[in-house]
Structure 1
C-alpha cells in the first residue's frame, strides 16, 4: 500500500509540469489551426486530453513495476552529493500520504457529484412526459441520420435546456417550456442537433472527459482542454444538424432563442446551448473558409519534440532514486565526543572523515575511517561518538532503509 501511495503521489506532482507542457503545446497547435475544420480541432483537443490521462497513468504503473528492491539498490549505491535538494525531497516525500489522501477526498466528492447528475438523468428518463408527435418526428430524423438505435424523447418540466444522454439507449430530454413556446421548425432544428451527438457517440467522450476532470481536477490545463472539446463538439454537431435540415439559419435562429432565454448548461449530458453560442451562430450564418495551414505541421512537430524531451527527462529522473531521502541526525541524542586523555595532553588535532552505516531503526550499526586525522586515538573517539547518535533513518518511497552516511569530526584546541 505504501508503494502505491508513493507512486501515486509522485505521479500527481509530476503532472504539474506534464499537464502544462501538453496544454501549452495544444494551445499553440489549435491557435495555428484556426482555419481548420471543427472536427480536426476537436480531434486534436481530445488527443491532448487523453495524453493528460495516459502520461501520469504510465508514470504510476512504471513506478510500481520498478519495485522498491531495485530502487533500493540504486539508492544505497549512490553518493549523497547527487541529492542537492534532499531536504526538499524529504519534506515532499514525508507529506505524500497527506497529499494523496486530500486528492482522494476531492476525487470522491467530484465523483459523487457526477453520480448524482447521472442519477437525475436516469430519473428524468423514467418520469418524463411523452409526446407522440415529436417522438415520431425524432425517429424520422434519426432514420435520416442513419441511427439504428431507438432514441427516446422525454418532456421534462424542470429542465432548462434540451440535453442528450446515454449511448446504448440514448434519450433526448426536452424542456416543456420549449415544446410549448418555440416554433416547430426551430424545435426540429434543435432535435437534429441532439441527434448529431447520438450519431457521433459523443456521450462516451463526454463521460471520459468527466473522468479526466475528476482525477486531474487540480490542473487548469485539463479544464481548458475539456472546455475546448465541448466547444468544438458543438460546432461539429451544428454542422451535421444544418446539413440534415438544409437550413443553417433555422438552427442559428433556434440557438439565438436559447441565448435570449439564458439557459444553463449541463455538464454530465450534451446540451444544445453548450459552447460559445455567438460564435456558433456566426459559424452557421457565415461559415469560415476552410484552409490548410502549414504552420500546424510545424506546431505538431514542436509539440511532439517537447513531449519527447519532457518524457526523456522524466525517465532519466525516474532512474535515480528521487523519492529517497537521506538519514538525518537527531542532535539531542548526540553528546560531545570524549577527547582521549593522551591526545589532549599531547595537543593532537586533526579532522577525521567517517563513513557509518545507519540501520532501518536509525541506530548506527557500523563505522569505518575514510580519512584519518593522523592520530588513532582521535579516530577511535570519533567512531565511538558517532555510534552513540540516533538518526531518522533514510527513506525510500516512504519506507525506512539502511544507508551509509559520511561525517567529519574536527578536533581543534582553542
Structure 2
C-alpha cells in the first residue's frame, strides 16, 4: 500500500470517530421522537445511519488523497499554519480574535492548539501502524464471519425436509403474503429456534421440537415471521450489515446502530406475522411458547435470522401493550426521515471543510503577519442530521397492536386486507383480544362476533363443513372449525385415524397428526416394525422427527432391536442412525446401551476422536471414561503437549483431574521458568 493511500485511509478511520459519534447522536434523537410502534420508519432510519457510517470515511479518504495528489501538505504538519495567509478550517483548531486598529469588529483567525501541534505530526508518522492494526482487526472479524457462515451451511446441508403437510402450509402462508419465490422448509435437530437462511434460494429451518411443542396455529404464526424476513429481503440487508460491522469493527456506534437495526427488523416481521392472523396476543403466546422449548442459545455468528431475535420481553410488551406515542403526527415522522436522508447530500461538502487544506510550504522570506478574516467561517464539524435511504427498503408491515384496556367509543381503524386460501378479503380489527385457539363458542347457538366470523372465513369454513364436523361427533365450536379448516381435515382421515387408535382422538390431536404427516400408511409401517398401539401423541412425535419403518429397520440391522419408543425418539432427535452405530462398532465400541449411545452423539464422540485417543496410547477405554474425557475436552493434542513437558504415562483419571483443574502444558512451562 502506497504512503498516500495509507495516510488517507488512516485519517479517514480517525475522522470517523467523531463523525460516527455525531451520526449516532442524530439517530438517537430521531428514534427518541418516533413512536416505538413505527418499526418500519425506525428501521429505515437505522439502516440509513449505518450506510452513512460507510459513506463518510469513503468521502474523507478520497478528499484527503486528492489533496495529497495536488501537492498539499498533510494534516500532520501544521507548523506553517500560524504564519500563513490562508484560513485553515480543521477540527481541533481554536479560533482567536485578531484585533485590528481601525476595525470596529474584530474578525477571526485560526490557530492550532498546542496539543494538536504535537499530536498530529506523531499520528502522521505512525499512521501505517494504525492501518496495519485495522487490517488485522478486519481479518479476524472476517474469519469469525466465515466460520459462522460455514456452520450455517453445514446445518442446512444436514437438515431434512419437513413433512409435506407443513411444506404445503408454508406455501399457503407465502401466497397470503404475496410471495412468488419458492421457499423450502427443513427440520433440524441441531437448532432450537426457527431461522430463515438464503436470498436467491431461501430456506426456513425449523427445529424438531417446534413441530411437537407448538400448536398448529402457533407454528403457523412463527412460520409467517420467517417468511416475512424472506419477503423483505432481510438476508441481503443482513449481509451488508455484517460487512459494515467487519470493516468498522472498532467503532462502538456501529455496533449500537447494528443492534437497533436487528431489533427493529424483528419488530417489522412481528407486525407482518400479526397481520396474517389478526391477533397480537396469540402471536405473543406463540413467541413465549417457542422460548420455553429452547434448550440452548443460538451460539453461532451467522447471517441467519431467528424468530427469537432481540429481547423477547420487549417484543411481547410491544405486541400486547400500547405504549405512549412519542411521535405527535405522521408529519413529524416524515420530516424526521427527510431530514436524515439529506445527510448524504451534504456529507461530501462538510467532510471537505472538515479536512485541512494547508498552503504550499513557506519560503525563506520574512513571514507576513496573519491575514484577517472578513467573512464568517464555515463550521468545521459536520453535523449529519439524517441517514440515507436504506440499503433495501422493505414493504411496510401492517401496524396491528392491542390496547391494554378496551376503549369505550372509538371505532376500529381499517387494516390491510388478508386473503385466505379462497382469496377472500377481510378486514381485521386489531384492537381485539380474540383468540380462536380457546374459543368454545358453538356455531349456531348465538350470533358470532366480527373476529369470529373473520377467523371462520379465512379458514374456509362453510355450512357444509359445520354439518360435517357434527356428523363426525365433534363439537362445531369456532376453535375446532378453524383448526380443521387450516389442516384441511377430511372425514375419511378422521374415520381412519379413529379406527387405528381404537377410539376417537380429540380435535387437537387430529389437527397435530394431520399437520406433521401422520397417515394410515405410516402407522401401518410402525406396526409392522413392532411398534403398534401407539398413542396420538407418540404418533405425532414419530412423524415430526421422521421415525418410520425404514429408520427402525436400519437400527435393527446395526444391532439395536426392540428399543423402547422413547429411546427411538431420542436417538432420532440427536441424528443417530445405522451408519453412526457401524462407525462406532468399527472403532471398538459395539452394543453400547442407548443412553451411552446418546451421550456419545451429544458430546460429539466420533470415530476420528476415538482414533486419535488410540494413537495417543489410550486404547479400549470404557465408554464412561470416553464420555468424561470428551466432556472436559481431553484430546490427543492435550495429551501430546503434556508429554512434551515430561508428563508421560498418565492414567485417564490423572488426565481428567489435570484438565478439570485447569492444569495444562502452558501452566507447567510457566512454573519451570520461575524455578
TM-score (norm 2): 0.45
Distance 1:281 1:76 in 2: 56
For 1:138, the equivalent position in structure 2 comes to: 170
Alpha-carbon spacing, 1:310–1:43, altered in 2? closer, same or farther (3 Å): closer
Deviations 1:211-251 (A, max 9, x none): 11111111111111111111111111011111112332222
Alpha-carbon spacing, 1:240–1:75, altered in 2? closer, same or farther (3 Å): closer
Distance 1:133 1:223 in 2: 41
Are the aligned partners of 2:192 and 2:293 in contact in 1 as well (CA < 8 Å)? no
Cα offset for 1:59?
1.4
For 2:145, the equivalent position in structure 1 comes to: 114
- Name the SS of the counterpart of 1:173 in structure 2: strand
- The structure where strand makes up a greater share of residues is 1
Cα offset for 1:87?
2.4
Cα offset for 1:176?
1.8
Are the aligned partners of 2:228 and 2:272 in contact in 1 as well (CA < 8 Å)? yes
Are the aligned partners of 1:154 and 1:174 in contact in 2 as well (CA < 8 Å)? yes
Q: Are positions 1:284 and 2:319 aligned together?
A: yes
Matches within 5 A, 1:31-50: 31-35=32-36, 37-50=38-51
Cα offset for 1:156?
1.4
For 1:95, the equivalent position in structure 2 comes to: 126
For 1:24, the equivalent position in structure 2 comes to: 25
* 1:216 counterpart (248, 257, 260): 248
Cα offset for 1:292?
3.5
RMSD: 3.3
Matches within 5 A, 1:183-332: 183-261=215-293, 264-265=297-298, 267=301, 268-288=303-323, 292-293=328-329, 314-321=351-358
Alpha-carbon spacing, 1:199–1:321, altered in 2? closer, same or farther (3 Å): same
Q: Are positions 1:9 and 2:10 aligned together?
A: yes
For 2:60, the equivalent position in structure 1 comes to: 59
- Name the SS of the counterpart of 2:187 in structure 1: strand
Distance 2:174 2:17 in 1: 43
For 1:344, the equivalent position in structure 2 comes to: none
Alpha-carbon spacing, 1:311–1:36, altered in 2? closer, same or farther (3 Å): farther
Tell me whether 39-48 or 239-248 shows the greater mean CA deviation: 239-248
For 2:613, the equivalent position in structure 1 comes to: none
Q: Are positions 1:86 and 2:117 aligned together?
A: yes
- Name the SS of the counterpart of 1:168 in structure 2: coil
Cα offset for 1:83?
5.3
Per chain length, whose mean CA-contact separation is higher, i.e. which structure has more relative contact order (CA < 8 Å, sep 6+)?
Answer: 1
Tell me whether 262-271 or 188-197 shows the greater mean CA deviation: 262-271
For 2:213, the equivalent position in structure 1 comes to: 181
TM-score (norm 1): 0.71
Deviations 1:351-406 (A, max 9, x none): xxxx9x8xxxxxxxxxx6859xxxxxxxxxxxxxxxxxxxxxxxxxxxxxxxxxxx
Alpha-carbon spacing, 1:207–1:181, altered in 2? closer, same or farther (3 Å): same
Point out where structure 2 has 5 or more consecutive residues left out of the alignment.
83-110, 368-675
Distance 1:83 1:146 in 2: 60
Cα offset for 1:90?
1.2
Alpha-carbon spacing, 1:272–1:17, altered in 2? closer, same or farther (3 Å): same
Are the aligned partners of 2:280 and 2:320 in contact in 1 as well (CA < 8 Å)? yes
Distance 2:20 2:30 in 1: 15
